[in-house]
Structure 1
Amino acid sequence: MKSVLVDLTQLPLERTGVGIYAVNYVKRLQAQAGGMRLHFLVLDDDAELLREVAAIPNASAIVLKAKLFRRFLFRVLLEQVIIPALALVKGIGAVHSLHYSFPLLSFGRFKRIVTVCDMSFFLFPELHVPAKRVFFQYFIRRLPKVEGLLFISESTMNDFMRDFPLCAAERCVIPLGTELARLQAPADPRVVAELRKRFDIGRYILYVGTIEPRKNILGLVKAFEQVAPTHPDIKLVIAGKLGWDYDSLLQYIEASPLRDRIVLTGYVNETEKHALLKSADLFTYVSFYEGFGLPVLEGMAAGVPSITSNISSMPEVAGNGALQVNPNNTDEIAAAMRSLLDHPEARASLVERGHAQSRAFTWENTTAISLDFYARLLGQREAGTQPGQLRG
């Protein structure tokens, strides 16, 4: 039986987006991998992934030194030389890369599977730093040559196919999930109290995500400035690490007359994020573009009235469980905030719908579809009859 090598070396230690996807995928493999033989490339500074991989039956970890392979040139060497060599020596049937880049040469000896998280490098190239834009556009242009593509939403797959309509790779949508039981459970009151004290917050509107132009945080701040005068007890909490091109945003916040009511927490871990979500009055995620929009799903699952954008993948994720607004219209964002802050019955109804919507997205489903895709691509299972999952 052919095995699959999953490359986990692309993941930063501070988990966002693809990192959260990868960790939850690995966790679910512990119960769902069955007889599938799996190998994982893991860096030696990633204790969490090393621990989770060790608990997967029929799996082995190939551990590499982070001091070397977190450096760009060594990272390229690993992906383009070492991984193909490993695949050939170990007789691996497929290599799964989780974040755009992948081994360019397979010598026809192993299948290449790539997870495509979004198409922002093509749709919004101006919102990325030049080096990343050039690097990832190079690999995305070559994705039609791989054997299998996993997309985290129908929206992302449609965006890709508009740019690459002749792509013949097998394609599959793997909607992401969320940890429903954990997010719906009460937060640790000690963590809540510590965060309230650390950031001096009572009632607040919350954003969670990387601070970068695509997330439209400036639009969120401007909408908050409209709402704040009639809601003097509300603050805006922006939770996330600094990404790129954030100087103009920070300058705007510093000059804002509401500077004392806008809180920048920096990166928060999963426990802190859970506590912030459970204590928020509103959750807002009015991004200009998303490949999925995982924070929207987490907000709904946590029982927070949520506002998100009405474009790209976000309607696919939110359904009727969140208010949808035009992210380019600050007045519309502000009106949505007011409607929920001022009407408790609307908030309660939205929370109920959000809970129902979030239950449709589970990591178990993400994992099951991914494993089925592996098996189909390796010829170990006949294509099923479920519509819309496997495309070629």
Structure 2
Amino acid sequence: MRIALNASILRAPRTGIGHYVAELATALQADSDIELELFDGWHWRRDVPAAAQPGYSRLSALVKRLPNAYALRRHLQQARFEQGGRRLRPALYHEPSLWPFEFDGPMLMTLHDLTHVHYPHTQPADRLREIERQVVRGLERASRVLTDSQFIADEVSLHYGVSPEKLVVAPLGHAPRFHPRSQEQLASTLQSFGLQARRYLICVGTLEPRKNLQLGIEGYLALPEALRRCYPLLIAGMPGWGREQMQASLQRALASGQVRLLGYQPDETLAGLLAGARLLLFPSLYEGFGLPVLEAMASGTPVVLSRRASLPEVAGAAGLYIDPEDPQGCTEALQQLIEDESDWQVRHELGLAQAKNFTWTRCAQITASVYQQLMDT
């Protein structure tokens, strides 16, 4: 069964969808019944790229300055996609994001979330117009639509009128690098940041409004001074749109020396930081899944998170939930997991058990079963 998978997102530094494509492709390659062909945006390949393309960010910034940049790039990529498709003759095409290529055959699409609907300002205007047009066309053309959570499946059905029979939930997994680590295993990573194991808190996510980091910072800054001195808050993630909306609170927090902005971190470094933290703070307003929550639990780190969107599906009983519009509730939850060792240990164990329910092998098995269904029809 020869499958074409659009892997062009792997040219960029990896965040949620990039990790999905890389981990899913790797897991699918272990299935002897599947012959996976990856389209990286310009070329077809069998191997999963180990890292982003050098110079991608500079090239992307340059391309965006061109008139109709997104449509132009897509037109060129479509031509390369068709050229390789004629040679390889895949039986099925899997589009793992919002914008499927034209393909003369059955097509499967993964829709991770409806951020473009709820938070349209996360995209440049010309790209948003293309996304809105292409998503509708993609959902009409797709024989099946995968989602990461039941929450998103319900949203897709309600917002776009997609039949529930056409939707398949394939929950994400966590990579092997996310696991509990001893102090000795953490030493080199933590020493480079001047940290001690379990003596800091961490937020992971792009700096943009839907991640709700401003509330997280407010909740953290309301902790007693003694706790903040002992437990600094680290924020790891790329700059996003709307960062200026949280600029005042962010600058005040950074000036205190108790909040540290780390920027984007390599995969292995982030895995070490998650495993060594006292807790992950994840106050997001909207998620299609919430990979950092799963990755923290798999690392043995409890999570303070919003009771919103898909997050309860991921964290289950292991999470300590907050109202993402209540800074005081956030403060109280942070203080609880810092000071209550018994509660911390319970959530540590619950998180490890909950994480076992989510693997990339299971995600790939569900995906492969949908491939087979489409081949049999």
Determine the structure 2 residue equivalent to 1:35.
33
Say if 1:144 and 1:167, in contact at 8 Å, map to a contact too: no
Matched, 1:354 2:355: no
Residue 51 of structure 1 deviates from its aligned partner by 4.4
SS at 2:39 equivalent: strand
Give the conservation status (yes or no) of the 8 Å contact 2:288–2:309.
Answer: yes
**One-letter amino acid of the structure 1 residue matched with residue 336 of structure 2:** S
Tell me the TM-score normalized by structure 1: 0.83
Deviation for aligned residue 1:326: 1.3
Residue 97 (structure 2) aligned to one of 74, 96, 99: 99
Match of 1:219 in 2: 215
- Quick check: 2:10–2:40 contact (8 Å CA) kept in 1? no
In 2, the alpha carbon distance for the partners of 1:259 and 1:140 equals 44
Asked if the contact 2:207/2:241 (under 8 Å) is kept, the reply is yes
- Gap change, CA 1:26 and 1:125, over 3 Å in 2: same
In 2 relative to 1, CA 258–165 (structure 1 residues): closer, same or farther, beyond 3 Å? same
Q: CA RMSD in A?
A: 3.0
Question: Aligned partners of 1:9 and 1:267: how far apart in 2?
Answer: 20
Aligned to 2:107: 112
Shift of 1:9: 0.9
User: 1:1-392 residue pairs with structure 2 within 5 A?
Assistant: 3-31=2-30, 33-42=31-40, 51-52=47-48, 71=63, 72-73=70-71, 75-103=73-101, 105-106=102-103, 109-146=104-141, 147-167=143-163, 170-180=166-176, 182-186=178-182, 187-196=185-194, 203-231=199-227, 232-256=229-253, 259-379=256-376
**Which SS does the other structure have where 1:34 is aligned?**
coil
Report the CA distance between 1:253 and its aligned residue. Answer: 1.6
Q: Is the 8 A contact 1:10 1:98 kept in 2?
A: no
Q: Alpha-carbon deviations, 1:283-336, whole Å to 9, x = none?
A: 111100000000000111111121111011000000011111111111111111
Moved more, 252-261 or 236-245: 252-261
CA contact 1:145–1:167 (8 Å) conserved in 2? no
- 3-state SS in 2 of match to 1:237: strand
Q: Is the 8 A contact 1:45 1:66 kept in 2?
A: no
Deviation per CA, 1:113-158, whole angstroms, max 9, x where unpaired?
A: 2111101211233455434433322222223312221111111111
In 2: Cα distance, 1:144 partner to 1:45 partner: 25
Where does structure 1 lack aligned partners over 5 or more consecutive residues?
55-62, 381-392
Cα 1:201–1:135 shift into 2, 3 Å: farther
Aligned mates of 1:149, 1:238 — CA distance in 2: 33
* Contact 1:285 1:296 (C-alpha < 8 Å) held by counterparts: yes
User: For this pair of structures, how many residues does the alignment match?
Assistant: 362
Distance 2:173 2:191 in 1: 28
1:354/1:196 CA distance change after superposition, 3 Å? same
Cα distance in 1, alignment partners of residues 92 and 47 from structure 2: 23
Does the aligned pair in 2 maintain the 1:205–1:283 contact within 8 Å?
Answer: yes
For the structure 1 residues 342 and 91, does the alpha-carbon distance in structure 2 shift closer, same or farther, using more than 3 Å as the test?
A: same
Q: Residues 3 and 37 of structure 2 are in contact (CA less than 8 Å); yes or no, is this contact kept in structure 1?
A: yes
Q: Distance in 2 between matches of 1:238 and 1:310?
A: 21
Kindly provide the amino acid, as one letter, of the partner of residue 27 in structure 1.
T
**In structure 2, do the counterparts of structure 1 residues 323 and 128 end up closer, same or farther at CA, with 3 Å as the change threshold?**
farther
Distance change >3 Å, CA 19–CA 233, structure 1 → 2? same
Contact 1:177-1:362 at 8 Å conserved across structures: yes
Question: 1:11 aligns to what SS in structure 2?
Answer: helix
**In 2 relative to 1, CA 51–377 (structure 1 residues): closer, same or farther, beyond 3 Å?**
closer
Q: For the residues of structure 2 that align with 1:173 and 1:95, how far apart are their CA atoms? A: 18
Letter matched to residue 207 of structure 2: I
Q: Is the 8 A contact 1:155 1:291 kept in 2?
A: yes
Does the residue aligned with 1:319 lie in a helix, a strand or coil? helix
Which moves more between the two structures, 259-268 or 116-125?
A: 116-125
SS at match of 1:289: coil
- Work out the percentage of aligned pairs sharing the same amino acid: 23
Decide whether the 8 Å contact of 2:11 with 2:40 is kept in 1.
no
Report the Cα distance in structure 1 between the residues aligned to 2:43 and 2:194, rounded to whole angstroms.
31
Measured at CA, do residues 101 and 79 of structure 1 come closer, stay the same or move farther in structure 2, by a change above 3 Å?
A: farther
Question: Which has a greater percent of helix?
Answer: 2
Structure 1 Cα separation of the partners of residues 78 and 19 of structure 2: 25
| Shift of residue 44, structure 1, vs aligned partner | 8.0
TM-score (norm 2): 0.86
CA distance in 1: counterparts of 2:211 and 2:56, whole angstroms: 30
Q: Secondary structure at the match of 2:223?
A: helix
Deviation at 1:246, TM superposition (A): 0.8
CA distance in 1, matches of 2:130, 2:194: 41
CA-CA distance at 1:341 after TM superposition: 1.1
Distance 1:196 1:230, change over 3 A: closer
| Aligned amino acid, residue 192 of structure 2 | E
Q: CA deviation at 1:178?
A: 0.6
The 4+ residue runs of structure 1 with deviation greater than 6 A are: none
